Structure 1
Amino acid sequence: MSQAYLIRGTAALFAVLLFFAGNSAVTHAADKPNFIVIYCDNLGYGDIGCFGSTQHRTPNIDRMAAEGLKLTSFYVSSGVCTPSRASLMTGCYPRRVNLHESAKGGIVLRPVGQRGLHPDEITIAEVLKQQGYATACIGKWHLGDQPQFLPTRQGFDRYFGIPYSDDMTQRPGQPWPPLPLMEGEKVIEAPVDRNTLTKRYTEAAVEFIEQNRDRPFFLYLPHAMPGSTREPFASEAFSGKSANGAYGDSVEEIDWSTGEILETLKELGLDERTMVIWTSDNGAPRRNPPQGSNQPLGGWGYTTQEGGMRVPCLVRQPGTVPAGAVSDELCTTMDLLPTFAKLSGSFAPENRIIDGKDITPILVGDDDAKSPHEAFYYYQRGQLQAVRSGKWKLHLALPKPRGKKQPRTFALYDVVADLGETTDLADKHPGIVKKLQRFAEAARKDLGDEGHPGKNQRAAGHEPHPTPRELTR
């Protein structure tokens, strides 16, 4: 047999293998689910109809509950924006990635700050991008405003939004730049018209879905609303229309936005291929007069009470997620990274600690599905304040609790039966108290507590000479 024949034969075989491998990849890609995460800002547990609101009209969000799964013990890892979002992106507790506070000890990152999500961290977007997904972040980022910390450097093909909270605007004593709206890494409008954000985010989200209908995609839609201002923003079509002032207007516009996205999926035939997660970054903060509601939970946003860190969550994917289902198993935003990785045919990063767990059995309605979390930790900035295991939540004894003026003793609650954390059962269950104390000690060694670092913390990103994101012409 001649050498030329062998070469031609080998080339032909290689071409055939490439053909089948290519077609297999196309088929495999078509089978991958799309993922959409809709993430509200400062919206409370009781702010939507399917979680008990009688003030806000949320028919589209309520339809998600009727057509999908309602998670009633779903947690974020912090009662405030930056650390909560860091956990969603990385699958880790905020202290793990050192984004539990700003470089100067502030509760969240501020404009022109030195700290941000470390470029070496692996985000949900990066995990999915390796699987051929198109990725977009449309909305509020708040994980660092310096170029190396922006979504475009963290696995997102497209970024359209504001880099931090809607209330971080120019004011006396704060030489911040006008609130910037960014496309990629460029400021395209400053100051942005905050009344138009929800509408413009929705239009951009629909456009992204339409553009990527023929390939798997991940859309992260972190709304700026209801937001951090005492007078939230809404477009003209919704302003003054709700029964709860500007706050209600912004919630009802988010409901409209949700409906637009669901309708787009239906029109494009993507309903059964797309998992939509709808939730909030933390509970509604205390305001006078009250705006948001965390009922029937106790406490407010920015705290480690249930009302600060247990948030409404809905999951919808017709044909995969059972319709009208409810689960009270403990799940967290940290679980989304390993879960999406599993569903996309990939794995969570194996070269580092990931605190989230795969919750696929819960989402698809397996009869015996249980929470994969033996314990869940409630941190206030860098201070460990409480631990939950099963139905029990222990508020730890603290001589100097963050956010409080007086020392506090142990308090044990059954947060399945006592959502408001009203009846302390510590005296009746000393064994449970000791068990949760042991979990707390393990967390202190692993993640740290107050000024004491944990042995498995990782560095945050650091920019020693930050510059403002400003409009340039």
Structure 2
Amino acid sequence: MAIQRERQFIFILVLSCFWQVFLDFAIVQNVIAGNGDLQNPPNVVLIVADDLGFADVGFHGSTQIKTPNLDLLASGGAVCENGYVSSPVCSPSRAGLLTGRNQVSFGYDNNLGLPQPGMDPQLCGLPVGERTIADRLGELGYKTGLIGKWHLGKLPQFHPLKRGFDEFWGFTGGGHYYFPTPVGTGYDSPIECNYAEPKAITYITDDIGDESVSFIERHREKPFFLFASFNAPHAPMQATEADLKLYQHIKGKKRRAYCAMVHRLDVNVGKIQTALQEAGIAENTMTVFISDNGGPVNANASCNAPLNGQKGILLEGGMHVPYVIHFPAKIKPGTKYSHSVTSLDFAPTFVVAAGGTIDANAKFDGVDLLPYLTGKVDSPPHETLLWKFTISAAMRRGPWKLVRVPDRMPMLFNLDEDISEQNDVASENIDRIQRMMKDLGQWDVRLPYPVHLEGAVWKSRQLDLYDETYQLTQPETLKEIPLQNR
């Protein structure tokens, strides 16, 4: 009996050694394949601003608005100088960002509004068959949390807690008042929270920052994915008196409020970064900052200089946005990356860094960016980028940008020479534009019909925006903000 037990012990010992060798081999293979450090997977913090202008951050040259915390985030990581979102408006941009798939490939062509006649209200949201970053990272052992704006469907089947998020503090609509109001159903909807009794709103940008810090503090001991989804500086233009005082030298009332709101956004980005440092996890945290689309200059007095256009259209000002990836463990400080990247790259980048694998079933339209940002791969991540939003479509291939709008001939710009899209060179490049139009059209006709529509009035409004004149230079600095008040 003793001999038999000894043999069993030896067998179990050998089997355990073999299994450990196998696991070690698997870890090595995953790391070699670019699937992250499985023994120390990074935390992921995705910070999204709402309707932020391209020009309105210090790392893009703003001297009128001070953004020291965002500038520090940018200087400590990679600034993607040609960073794009997949749509020029909030809801479809977020649908693409959270799935890693071009949202028009699953019918998310319009902004999310009231159900239109003939459309099924049960489909007004992110299709339930699409998997989110939270779904994928949750399967890899991550704690997942959304703080702030959702805007991907209000019906129960679309709720964040059914789309991979363990925790939710925020609102499911497209916007919210910044100060306390009587509870209603629109911008005055109540704050939802599944992990605690929500406190009364103070100033919602601060509240989102504070709840994000709380999430970090509560989950610092294991890998987490935090989606800090700010509604600033989206309208309504509501800023604190203290922040308005900082910008009292700005003459325009709307621009003054906008500057103050961006300032407060920056303060709360700083809170999040401080919380990571105090928790001792900043080095192994990948923090991404982006705006969900370009600034709507008429609505919130933002500036997209030197880009032409604004939110809602496919000129550069609509979807070429501030785009930062900060990851001290992997990315060198001061990295400037010039090849075109997209918000669709976030999902595969996060999954691979977390130790996951990507196969054809994921149907990602993005790629893992870390090999490109760390210099392991020299080629561009994307040969071609494609956009479609209701009435218009666009393509970028290398420096060449094609824009197709219903009421005019297609436009072609060489962005290397003309980032402000002032010189339409279509007539000088007939062969090129014919090839690009054919490729864009063949992609377009293979897309499914939209699963929901917004009001038809928005189509004519979009056309009008293509004819507006936009500011292509930075606003002048009329007065420096005292250092102690920044």
What TM-score do you get using the length of structure 1 for normalisation? 0.81
> Pairwise mapping of residues 275-424 of structure 1 onto structure 2 (< 5 A)?
275-287=286-298, 291-348=301-358, 350-366=360-376, 369-381=378-390, 383-396=391-404, 398=405, 401=406, 407-424=407-424
SS at match of 1:271: coil
SS at match of 1:260: helix
Q: Using the TM superposition, give the Cα deviation of residue 207 of structure 1 relative to its aligned residue in structure 2, in angstroms.
A: 1.4
Which among 205, 209, 224 is matched to residue 216 of structure 2?
A: 209
Give the distance between the partners of 2:38 and 2:14, measured in 1 at CA. Answer: 24
Q: Which runs of 5+ in 2 are unaligned?
A: 28-35, 179-183, 453-486
Give the distance between the partners of 1:22 and 1:184, measured in 2 at CA. Answer: 37
Give the distance between the partners of 1:203 and 1:359, measured in 2 at CA. Answer: 30
Aligned to 1:227: 234
Give the distance between the partners of 2:185 and 2:288, measured in 1 at CA. Answer: 37
Q: Using the TM superposition, give the Cα deviation of residue 236 of structure 1 relative to its aligned residue in structure 2, in angstroms.
A: 5.4
CA contact (8 A) 2:142 2:222 kept: yes
Give the distance between the partners of 2:438 and 2:145, measured in 1 at CA. Answer: 41
Kindly provide the CA deviation profile for residues 338-360 of structure 1, in whole angstroms up to 9, marking residues without a partner as x. Answer: 11112122123632522112222
CA contact (8 A) 1:29 1:216 kept: no
- Specify whether residues 237 and 159 from structure 1 end up closer, same or farther in structure 2 by C-alpha distance, changes over 3 A only: farther
Q: Using the TM superposition, give the Cα deviation of residue 447 of structure 1 relative to its aligned residue in structure 2, in angstroms.
A: 2.2
Aligned to 2:98: 89
- Specify whether residues 236 and 150 from structure 1 end up closer, same or farther in structure 2 by C-alpha distance, changes over 3 A only: farther
Match status 1:200 vs 2:195: no
Aligned length, in residue pairs: 428
CA contact (8 A) 1:205 1:221 kept: yes
Q: Using the TM superposition, give the Cα deviation of residue 268 of structure 1 relative to its aligned residue in structure 2, in angstroms.
A: 2.1
Kindly provide the CA deviation profile for residues 147-201 of structure 1, in whole angstroms up to 9, marking residues without a partner as x. Answer: 22111111111111111222599xxxx9758422111399957xx74x6111111
CA contact (8 A) 1:92 1:356 kept: yes
CA contact (8 A) 1:375 1:439 kept: no
- For 2:393, the aligned partner's letter is Q
Give the distance between the partners of 2:446 and 2:194, measured in 1 at CA. Answer: 36
- Specify whether residues 13 and 161 from structure 1 end up closer, same or farther in structure 2 by C-alpha distance, changes over 3 A only: farther
- Specify whether residues 10 and 148 from structure 1 end up closer, same or farther in structure 2 by C-alpha distance, changes over 3 A only: farther
Aligned to 1:465: none
CA contact (8 A) 1:49 1:56 kept: yes
- Specify whether residues 374 and 446 from structure 1 end up closer, same or farther in structure 2 by C-alpha distance, changes over 3 A only: farther
- Specify whether residues 127 and 175 from structure 1 end up closer, same or farther in structure 2 by C-alpha distance, changes over 3 A only: closer
Aligned to 1:61: 70
Give the distance between the partners of 2:332 and 2:218, measured in 1 at CA. Answer: 28
CA contact (8 A) 1:377 1:384 kept: no
Aligned to 2:79: 70
Which among 95, 108, 118 is matched to residue 99 of structure 1?
A: 108
Q: Using the TM superposition, give the Cα deviation of residue 219 of structure 1 relative to its aligned residue in structure 2, in angstroms.
A: 0.9
Identity across the alignment (%)? 31
SS at match of 2:325: strand
- Specify whether residues 168 and 118 from structure 1 end up closer, same or farther in structure 2 by C-alpha distance, changes over 3 A only: farther
The two structures, once aligned, show a CA RMSD in angstroms of 3.2
Give the distance between the partners of 2:185 and 2:163, measured in 1 at CA. Answer: 28
- For 1:238, the aligned partner's letter is D
Write 1 or 2 for the structure with the bigger share of helix.
2
CA contact (8 A) 1:165 1:228 kept: no
Kindly provide the CA deviation profile for residues 235-269 of structure 1, in whole angstroms up to 9, marking residues without a partner as x. Answer: 45534433442111110011111111112222222
SS at match of 2:106: coil
SS at match of 1:387: strand
What TM-score do you get using the length of structure 2 for normalisation? 0.79
Kindly provide the CA deviation profile for residues 109-128 of structure 1, in whole angstroms up to 9, marking residues without a partner as x. Answer: 9xx97511123211111111
Aligned to 1:467: none
- For 1:294, the aligned partner's letter is N
CA contact (8 A) 1:113 1:145 kept: no
- Specify whether residues 295 and 210 from structure 1 end up closer, same or farther in structure 2 by C-alpha distance, changes over 3 A only: same
Q: Using the TM superposition, give the Cα deviation of residue 414 of structure 1 relative to its aligned residue in structure 2, in angstroms.
A: 0.8
CA contact (8 A) 1:92 1:334 kept: yes
- Specify whether residues 155 and 177 from structure 1 end up closer, same or farther in structure 2 by C-alpha distance, changes over 3 A only: same
CA contact (8 A) 2:38 2:355 kept: no
Q: Using the TM superposition, give the Cα deviation of residue 369 of structure 1 relative to its aligned residue in structure 2, in angstroms.
A: 2.6
Kindly provide the CA deviation profile for residues 315-350 of structure 1, in whole angstroms up to 9, marking residues without a partner as x. Answer: 112242121121121100001111111212212363
CA contact (8 A) 1:128 1:341 kept: yes
- For 2:422, the aligned partner's letter is T
309-318 or 351-360, which deviates more:
351-360
- For 1:422, the aligned partner's letter is Q
- Specify whether residues 438 and 168 from structure 1 end up closer, same or farther in structure 2 by C-alpha distance, changes over 3 A only: farther
Give the distance between the partners of 1:336 and 1:283, measured in 2 at CA. Answer: 18
CA contact (8 A) 1:166 1:179 kept: no
Aligned to 1:246: 257
- For 1:36, the aligned partner's letter is V
- Specify whether residues 142 and 104 from structure 1 end up closer, same or farther in structure 2 by C-alpha distance, changes over 3 A only: closer
SS at match of 2:307: coil
34-43 or 90-99, which deviates more:
90-99
CA contact (8 A) 2:411 2:425 kept: yes
SS at match of 2:81: strand
Which among 242, 255, 258 is matched to residue 266 of structure 2?
A: 255
Which among 114, 122, 135 is matched to residue 126 of structure 1?
A: 135
Q: Using the TM superposition, give the Cα deviation of residue 68 of structure 1 relative to its aligned residue in structure 2, in angstroms.
A: 1.4
SS at match of 2:246: coil
- Specify whether residues 55 and 444 from structure 1 end up closer, same or farther in structure 2 by C-alpha distance, changes over 3 A only: same
Kindly provide the CA deviation profile for residues 213-251 of structure 1, in whole angstroms up to 9, marking residues without a partner as x. Answer: 22111111110110132x1x3445534433442111110
- For 1:204, the aligned partner's letter is E
